[in-house]
Amino acid sequence: MTAPGKKSHTILVTGAAGFVAGSVITQAPREWTLHLISRRQIPRQQPNWVLHRADSADPDAIGAIILQTSPDAVIPTAAIANIDYCETHQDEAFRMNTEVTRAVVDACVRTGAKLVFCSTDNVFDGRRGWYREGDVPNPINYYGFTKHAAEKIIAAEPHLKAVIARIALVMGMPLLGSARPFMVRMFEDLATNGPVWAPPGEVRTPVDVISLGRALLELSEHDYAGIIHLAGPDRIDRVDLVRALVHRTGGNPDRVQPIDAETIPNRALRPPDLSLDTSLARKILRTPLPGISEGFHLVMEAWERVKTGAEPEAYLPCGS
């Protein structure tokens, strides 16, 4: 880890207007320098944020900015994460999720930056669940394929300091930018008089975006390298998850109704059980990975702060 008393740390985040990036950026310590890459304007600014306007799908631009800024760590959150869109736009998905990774890897090797790569539980086929870091990936949708291909690029570079963080289903609200994660859509559905739909038969171990952001920040200064699973401890079906979240908002969980995935047009295959074993993360990380109840509390507390114009509480660096 960072040596005790060390305060200076520089990270670069791609896709800075995105959902996961918002958690990383707004919780980063104020004494750190953050280089943020986004083709869109960031809605607010802090003195330690440096915005670079560039397309995160442009490998040359991303590589050049990493070489120019020479950060201590790179957290490339930019990705096409819409599973259905990836299935029908495969060339675009491969360029964004895989080819850009090659440029990031090359720039990190040349600068000595540590790479904290955001992968996905969708690298697995979901036939058994409780996947550990050493289990063999076998993606069944194109999104999972692009991320697994990126993982192989990273693993093949012997001179790279890297963490491959396989991330479970993320629950939360956007802390920066205009992302629309599934909880935003859930609240929109609750505002109507109709049912709230959720697909059954899809088991996940959801992680809240607040704890995820903290874990990625910790990994950026941690000496660990290799694969790590970031997920919560609760193994739950998507329908039961949405019902649990609706209940915690004071709504009627009976409004949540299963929807047959086969009736949804152009819906890509989803693995049935993508539960992740997080024994390694709980062993080496200081950051807790809480269950649904505590994670929901963290999400809504941070969301209330953002709505009032305040920033979420900053992550405490390892050396503090």
Alpha helical stretches, state H, the chain: 19-27, 59-69, 83-88, 90-94, 100-111, 142-155, 182-190, 209-221, 238-248, 279-284, 292-307
pLDDT (mean) for 41-54: 91
| pTM recorded for the entire structure | 0.96
Question: Cβ-count burial of 182 within 10 angstroms (0-12 exposed, 13-18 middle, 19+ buried)?
Answer: middle
pLDDT (mean) for 152-174: 97
Q: Token match 């990493």: residue?
A: 66
- CA-CA distance, 162 to 315, in Å (whole number)? 21
- CA distances 154 to 25, 164, 240, Å, are 24, 8, 36
The CATH number corresponding to 10-179+206-234+276-295 among 3.30.497.10, 3.40.50.720, 3.30.365.10, 3.20.20.30 equals 3.40.50.720
- What's the pLDDT tens digit per position in 33-42? 999 999 888 8
3-state helix, strand, coil in the chain (%, to 5): 40, 15, 45
- What's the pLDDT tens digit per position in 5-36? 456 899 999 999 999 999 999 999 999 999 99
Map residue 234 onto helix, strand or coil: coil
Residue 184: name the closest of 194, 172, 193 by CA.
172
Domain boundaries defined on the chain:
10-179+206-234+276-295
